[in-house]
Amino acid sequence: MLVYTSIPCKEVVIINFKNIENLKKSTAIPLYYQLEKIITKMIEEGKLNPGDKLPSERKLADDFLISRMTVRQALNELVNKGKLVRKSGLGTFVAKPKLQYGLFKLTSFTEDMKKRGLKASSKILSLEKIKPFEMVKNKLEAGDSYVYRLERLRFADDEPMALEISHLKVDICPSLNRKKLKDQSLYQILADEFKIIMNHAEETMEGGLATAREAERLNIQVGDSVLLRERLTYDQNDNPVEFVKSIYRSDRYKFYISLNKDV
């Protein structure tokens, strides 16, 4: 059972994680991921509230009997997802929910390219049914189900723009195949054939450097800068449908955001 206490400290509340549920060291689920999930759950259940201060990395490491590096990895993930914020010299806090934070229009690659006046197309590099590794399994809530691993090279006006590795549960779109996907929008197929309407998503973006394999596919040099995007997309019923990692050529792709001071 989760046991925690809130200790008032000036204007902030420090949450004490002592006695909290233990991490399972003998499973394949990485420890940082387990800790990330525990903190996420506490935020979702209102046991950690916006403005609450987390204990130091050292304290968390002691409480959970894990290394500080593992704690840092879990906290970094949550900071990247906007669930925690770091205030320099003060510590790590539960983020205030941001109204309309990251609310941009959810588009498919095909729509995105169209908006830019470019024509999208794809080359299917592989489509296989796999037993997903733990992170994908958890994201898709896949249990023991098989998952499609779809790797596509995405073109804009016939020039490579991105490499995308998507994961989707087989049972929600059992008849997905290479033929259907050839130069057809995945989101369109999901909507038309399987009545799955992509509704909202969580996405992260970061800079990266192209590996040899990525460079070869994208027709760039090894070590050239790329934009790494990771997205978990949900359908109209709030079910996680697709987890994707995309590698975009940063010399060709610019991410556009419209900002407003009132949000």
List the one residue out of 67, 95, 62, 60 whose CA is nearest residue 80: 95
Which residues have CB under 8 Å from 120's CB, separation 6+? 109, 110, 112, 113, 114, 154, 155, 156, 185
Backbone φ and ψ of 180, nearest 5°: -65, -40
Nearer to ligand GLP, 43 or 161 (CB): 161
Q: Choose, by CB under 6 A, the member of 76, 185, 199, 204 that binds ligand GLP.
A: 185
Nearer to ligand GLP, 93 or 248 (CB): 248
Burial state string for 211-222 with b = 16 or more CB within 10 A and e = fewer than 16: eeebbebbebee
List the one residue out of 229, 117, 233 whose CA is nearest residue 172: 233
Is 231 a binder of ligand GLP (CB under 6 A)? Answer: yes
List the interface residues with ligand GLP, window 235-254 (CB under 6 A): 242, 244, 246
* Residues 111-150, mask of contacts with ligand GLP (x by CB under 6 A): ---------x------------------------------
> Residue for token digits 């970061």?
206
Query: Which among 37-45, 57-65, 138-146, 186-194 is the span making contact with ligand GLP, rule CB under 6 A?
Result: 186-194
Q: How far is the CB of 102 from ligand GLP (least distance, A)?
A: 14
Is 57 a binder of ligand GLP (CB under 6 A)? Answer: no
Is 109 a binder of ligand GLP (CB under 6 A)? Answer: yes
